[in-house]
Amino acid sequence: MRTDIFARLDREPEPPKIEAPRMSRHRIALFGGTLAFYLAIVWAVLITSWLVALDWKVMLFRPYQQWPELHPFLDYYVVLGQRGPTAVMIACWLGWRSWRQHTLRPLLVLGTSLLLLNLSVGAVKLGLGRLGPHYATQIGSAEMFAGGDIFPSGHTANAVVTWGILAYLATTPRARRYLSAVSATVSLGVGLTTVYIGTHWLSDVLLGWAAGLLILLALPWFEPLIARTEAWIFAMRERWRERRGGARPAPVADTGPQPVLLPQSMATDGLTAEAVTAPAEPALPAGHAATGVRARAHTGHPARPGSMPVAPAGVRRPPPHTERGPRAGSPARPMTGG
């Protein structure tokens, strides 16, 4: 019995498995309804139904001529749906959040949504090839498969996704409600502005709203992939830090005091090499000149005769020999009178 318990304790814990979050019934129903609306718009345009006739009526009405005073303001407002400016603004805000929360999830969610937007909307644009109102060739025609790229509206879909990401990443229900209202207002205004200017049909805008909403509703299915990507990036960062830290030079160990060789004149006074020591000099990197005792040891030049090295503190230095004084071991000369 005890062996089984210890075997369980010694067993390494298995890494947690990342599973796709379960979609609520409300989200699944909303996703299915939006997908059905998306397919209905595409079918209505393909068969040149009443929706295409409505497109032509709105275009021939020419809203930019009916309300010209709105044109200067709406020219700037439509920038809120352009891919470059909106992506930069939202990325700066989410980058600050990632730095504060020490996570890459906000930026990875934005990157995933923009990638899905480019793949889905771009493929449909190129596949259907619809021409815009300014390039239409026949009144009442759907202008499909003519080499265009405006169906669905990229401005509208981009506005739904980029501004809707703020509501998707909100941390409180209250903030989510407010940001959802803001993103819906901005995307609705951008879509209607493109119709006002005349760059898109009304059906383009309807399909753009549906395309952007489908991407936001499908994001929870990509959360496991986002989590794995974040874990992989952090693991690569730690490996890079370890490699960078291993390349640093090892610290120099303290070798203690170094013995000093004394001259013969000082050794005769009873001093030994162990009695006088000098502090150890630190190791110098390559390219630097050595100084002090180490410099004299490396130069290999003998000391000049008659020169006396400086004695350390506390050591009695013998008096130097003079020419007039008697030498050691020689008899003193008698003094004579002048």
Q: With 50 as the cut, is the pLDDT of residue 53 above it? A: yes
Q: Which residues contact 98 (CB under 8 A, 6 or more apart)?
A: 104, 105, 106, 107
Reported as a pLDDT band with limits 50, 70 and 90, residue 137 is confident
pLDDT at 108: 95
To the nearest whole number, what is the mean pLDDT of the chain?
78
Using one digit for the tens of pLDDT, what is the confidence trace for 63-100? 999 999 999 999 999 999 888 899 999 999 999 999 99
The yes-or-no verdict on residue 3 having pLDDT over 90 is no
Per-residue pLDDT reduced to its tens digit, 218-270: 999 999 999 999 999 999 999 998 888 765 555 555 555 555 444 454 444 55
pLDDT band at residue 182 using 50, 70 and 90 as cut-offs: very high
Q: Is the pLDDT of residue 287 over 70?
A: no
Q: Among 18-22, 23-27, 58-62, 249-253, name the one with the lowest average pLDDT.
A: 18-22
Give the tokens for residue 72: 């200067």
The reply to whether omega before 152 is within 30° of 0 (cis) is: yes
Higher pLDDT, 15 or 42: 42
Question: What local confidence, expressed as pLDDT, does residue 249 receive?
Answer: 54
What residue ranges in the chain does DSSP mark as E strands? 258-259, 277-278
pLDDT for 25 equals 83
Q: What are 259's strand-pairing partners?
A: 277
Is 299 or 155 the better-scoring residue by pLDDT?
155
* pLDDT, position 51: 95
pLDDT of residue 115: 95
pLDDT tier for residue 325 given thresholds of 50, 70 and 90: very low
Residue 244's pLDDT is what? 85
d(CA 291, CA 278): 13
Q: Is the pLDDT of residue 149 over 80?
A: yes
Residue 144: pLDDT band (50, 70, 90) is: very high
287 vs 242, which has greater pLDDT? Answer: 242
Question: Can you tell me which residue has the tokens 């890494």?
Answer: 15
**pLDDT value at position 250?**
53
State both tokens at 213. Answer: 């909403």
User: What is the structure's pLDDT at 185?
Assistant: 94
Q: Residue count of the chain, please give it.
A: 338
> What is the pLDDT at residue 248?
55
Domain residue limits, the chain? 24-238
φ and ψ of 277, to 5 deg: -130, 160
177-185 contacts, C-beta under 8 A, 24 or more apart: 183/159
